[in-house]
Structure 1
Amino acid sequence: MIYVENEYARLQKVVLAASEFGYARKIRGDDLRFLLASSMEDIETHKGKDYRDAHPDKQRRWEQERTELQQVLEKYGVEVVRPRRLTDAEKAAAGDDGYANFFVRDPFFTIGNCVIEGSMRFLHRRREVLPVRTIMREGVYPEDCFYVATPAPEVALPDDPTLGAGPFLEGGDVIVMNDTVLVGNSGLASNATGAEWLRKFMGKFGYRVEMVRLHPDILHLDCALGLIRKGLMVICEDAFPDGVPAIFKDWEKISVTMNDATILATNGLPVSSEVYITDPAFSRIGRQLTARGVQVEYIDFSISRSFGGSFRCSTQPLLRKD
């Protein structure tokens, strides 16, 4: 069965990201403004290299982070599937843009019984869906669900800082709340054209799609808010220039700062309404959740977070239903 009800229903089957990254030879620095200065310096230093070769020790730690996440998920009965690695041909096809196979949340997403391939804005992520296609063939095609792809983005002029008209639509911007779907738009990832395409498609299934404007230094919507259970969320209110989305007006909010959001404080992962995974760096949030009856599991995810993503970014549910 393929179905995602909302962000905190019981997680039963999930795709867990691989750990591959190839540094671009040409750097678009302003697009990476959501990263820490140390990450930017690392990107500048290792142009054209594979992360595995540039940082073999960190590569092992990075892979171990994902292994530990898999172990925790399996402890709670979650079926975990993993994408294959990029082929040499896929890496070569990336050219100077670099390549990525590291945050499976973004290249596709699941809403209800619809599996949707996204349309990535960053050039190094345009092929990131390819390692997931085997999972699609083996685990999605046989199921009673829809499987579609967002239209491919238009080719932009070389000097176009926007990277073109898109459409851009990335899973980190997509928050599922039963029959309501929120799509973030900061200018770094999903855009209005992508949200409009999703509105047109999902509207046929009775979903309401609402675009949410984000602070321009926030990559995705899940870097600004995280839902724990119905009525409880972690949120950086400063990341929402138009205010917190109205659907959450009566929710209890655990607030974090923009600095916290930059290091992915909101990007934990609910296993269910009772269990939540986060990094020990955010034990302050964990203590508040524990006080509210939520069981908190801690995993050091510092390497993953240095790339600009964390637990939600590293996973994409195929079945999340109570």
Structure 2
Amino acid sequence: MALELHIKNETAHLRAVVLGTAQSNGAIPDIKDCYDPKSIEHIKAGTYPVESDMIYELNTVASVLEKYAVTVYRPTILKDCNQIFSRDIAFVIEDKIIRANILPNRIREIEAIRHIWDQVAPKNRIILPKECHAEGGDIIVWNDYIFVGTYSGDDYSNYITARTNIDTVIALQELFPNKIVKGFDLRKSNTDPKENALHLDCCFQPIGKNKAIIHKNGFLIEQEYQWLIDFFGKKNVFEINKQEMYDMNCNVFSISEEVIISEKNFTRLNNWLRNQGFTVEEVPYAEIGKQEGLLRCSTMPLIRN
């Protein structure tokens, strides 16, 4: 039976999702093989997360999802392969699953979700052209809009942290002519995680019906940040500081317009969310966060309605 995908935004009631896995995660990587500055920082400090802790954290999220009757798919386990961040390898918009053109070193991860890909009708399976670099963390679907985190500098190829390019913005506009596709230039650093917005969802995320979490310094162009403030309205925006962005406060995950999964140490954010009327399901996720990804990064929604 075909899998009927349906994603119109980030917060409608979640029915089915791919959750990453930390099983057979492999040894601590060499610094030269790392994809982000935060992982490098923890390798140097001897604090890189261990597999058992990350398995526990992911299982905690799986339990929360099951509590809300969400169908949870997992990738096929590949030996000695980091498969935690399922958001990077594909994303769903409306009824289409779009395969991301991710870093060449991570191409195996795409094969690990083939059992899901193959359940989608062929006409709804999209592979972007080779010139389109894209990862799902940079793609945020919000009703009439598709927000895309990009880096458009001439030195794009110098940044392993630059994952999505302008070609992707153009391709998505052609694929979804009924939507407004809006790009946002993000601040990138290969060496300083507090100055690096690895993906758009590291410095911005819509929640509920009309609210958002934002980190101003993640945006290279102040007018683009200001556009989001004006779009959501200042009173509806929770602004996080540099340390909170480093800790991944933007990277929570919505089960519905009323329920949000958040890291248990995000005290200031979680208090604000509750004051706004949200139910906050707190989970331990700090070990996974050491790899510059958190809850949204490790989930890839398939159906919301």
- Common topology (TM > 0.5): yes
Partner of 1:17: 20
The percent of aligned pairs where both chains have the same amino acid is 27
One of 182, 194, 216 as aligned partner of 1:237? 216
Q: How far did residue 72 of structure 1 move?
A: 0.3
One of 239, 242, 263 as aligned partner of 1:279? 263
Kindly report the root-mean-square deviation, in angstroms, between the aligned alpha carbons of the 2 structures: 2.3
| Residue 79 of structure 2 corresponds to residue 81 of structure 1 | no
Partner of 1:147: 125
Q: Partner of 2:281: helix, strand, or coil?
A: strand
Q: Partner of 2:213: helix, strand, or coil?
A: strand
Partner of 2:183: 211
Q: Partner of 2:62: helix, strand, or coil?
A: helix
Alignment of 1:11-160 (within 5 A): 11-19=14-22, 20-22=24-26, 27=32, 32-35=36-39, 37-39=41-43, 41=45, 58-86=50-78, 99-120=81-102, 122-137=103-118, 139-141=119-121, 146-152=124-130
Residues 256-300 of structure 1, C-alpha deviation per residue, up to 9 Å, x if partnerless? 012211221110001111111110110210111101110101000
8 Å CA contact retained: 2:264, 2:282: yes
| Structure 1: runs of 5 or more not aligned | 44-50, 92-98, 153-165
Q: How far did residue 308 of structure 1 move?
A: 1.2
8 Å CA contact retained: 2:38, 2:290: no
Q: How far did residue 124 of structure 1 move?
A: 2.8
TM-score normalized by structure 2?
Answer: 0.84
Q: How far did residue 303 of structure 1 move?
A: 1.6
| Residue 141 of structure 2 corresponds to residue 176 of structure 1 | yes
8 Å CA contact retained: 1:36, 1:306: no
Distance verdict in 2 for CA 1:283–1:125, change over 3 Å: same
Distance verdict in 2 for CA 1:300–1:77, change over 3 Å: same
Q: Tell me how many residue pairs correspond in the alignment.
A: 279
8 Å CA contact retained: 2:137, 2:297: yes
Q: Partner of 2:87: helix, strand, or coil?
A: coil
| Structure 2: runs of 5 or more not aligned | 157-161, 189-195
Partner of 1:163: none
8 Å CA contact retained: 1:172, 1:221: yes
Q: Partner of 2:256: helix, strand, or coil?
A: coil
Point out the more displaced range, 123-132 or 230-239. Answer: 123-132
Distance verdict in 2 for CA 1:247–1:238, change over 3 Å: closer
8 Å CA contact retained: 1:39, 1:307: no
